Structure 1
Amino acid sequence: MTTYASVDDLLASARHSLERLEPLDAYARVAAGALIVDIRPAWQRESDGEIPGSVIVERNHLEWRLHPASGASLPQARDGQEWIVVCTEGYTSSLAASALVSLGLPASDIVGGIHGWRAAGLPVAAGPTPVETVVGVTTSS
């Protein structure tokens, strides 16, 4: 078992296995069929908003809901589905996306999280959306 001297070392190791996406690149990937999965708790989604079209799966359910063979997967969890994980600032999402990659799922995360997404001028909807549903397309900036 690998141990790390610090959380920063753990994060660096997780990011080593990822293709991290700038917000505009993530937006383009969604247009090509990727799905964004928002892992933040409701209070953060209410505070900062949500990315329209994202699937809401809080962090503690992520692997079970996205792995097609888990027995508890969402309908969107199909073989080969590309997932882009988002959190508030892009730290927890790196750890979560790395866990998905370790399960053989195509996953990445967004540099800067929802804050980076908003700063890039991309659409944000009011939250919170109920867990494990897709955010509606009503948008605001």
Structure 2
Amino acid sequence: MTSPELQTAADAGAKVADGALLIDVRSAALRASTGEIPGATIADRDDLDALFGPAAAPAVAHDTPVVVVCGSINGSGPVAEALAARGYTDVSHVDGGFGAWKDAGLLAADGA
């Protein structure tokens, strides 16, 4: 298993623009206070089965490109690693998290 790639926000944004599945694993409270990424799929980092299905019967094809964003790499890294361990072959996460995503001028809605 290869480790998921840590990408700049700009590179991650380009990957999403090319069709990658963008999952946001930040808490509802954090999204409410800092903002959201329109079009991102919200995933509970503690219940990946809810979005991806059980590891033995994935609901999302293993070759689907996936970009994980959190508040920092401390949140996105473990989720990206878990997806890679489940057999996903094109997983990356955003260096600097949501803040870097916003700072890069990528689509984001402000929080409260």
CA separation of 1:79/1:68 partners in 2, compared to 1, >3 Å: closer, same or farther?
Answer: farther
TM-score, normalised with respect to structure 1: 0.68
Pair member with larger Rg: 1
Larger RCO (CA within 8 A; separation ≥ 6)? 2
Q: How many residues align?
A: 110
RMSD (CA atoms): 2.3
Name the CA shift for 1:82/1:47 in 2 (closer, same or farther; >3 Å). same
Aligned 8 A contact 2:49 2:55 in 1: no
Counterpart in the other structure of 1:57: 43
Q: Select the residue among 95, 99, 102 that pairs with 1:118.
A: 102
Q: Kindly, what percent of the aligned residue pairs are identical?
A: 38
For residues 58 and 5 of structure 2, the distance between their equivalents in structure 1, rounded to whole angstroms, comes to 27
Structure with greater strand percent: 2
The amino acid of 1:40's aligned partner reads: R
Which position in structure 2 is the counterpart of 1:98?
Answer: 81
Q: Does 1:21 align with 2:7?
A: yes
Task: Give structure 2 stretches of 5+ with no counterpart.
Answer: none
Unpaired segments ≥5 residues, structure 1: 1-15, 129-141
